Amino acid sequence: MSDEPHRRSGDGLANAFRAADAATTSSLGRIWDWIDKRDIDKHVVSLLILFGTVKITSWSMRFAEHGDRPGLEVAAIIGSVAAPYMAMQAAALAFYFRARQ
């Protein structure tokens, strides 16, 4: 009997997949390090939040202009839509400026 392990025909393919996975993980790690080093992720999130603010403001102006409801009711609807978003915006911008220090 031989002490040499028996190689299956699929071992080469499994090793190739492991090597490809390691190379991909290494490449993704380097890309993420590059993005994180330049704070690109924080900038993108801030720009997306700014875009959302523009969209909500645009919607609220159109809603107030073309609505057939009384002014107080329009203000309450706009406030109930915009307030949670503005709270999220304040938290995200506070995080952004703390991260820049």
Helices (H) and strands (E) in the chain — how many of each?
3, 0
Q: Is the pTM of this model over 0.95?
A: no
Q: So where are the chain's domains?
A: 9-38, 39-101
Q: One digit per residue, pLDDT tens: the chain, 101 residues?
A: 556 666 555 566 667 667 777 777 777 788 888 887 887 888 888 899 999 999 999 999 999 898 788 989 999 999 999 999 999 999 988 887 787 66
3: tokens are 């002490």
7: tokens are 């190689």
Amino acid occupying residue 41: D
Question: Hey, which bits of the chain come out as E strands?
Answer: none
Burial class (CB in 10 A: 0-12, 13-18, 19+), 60: middle
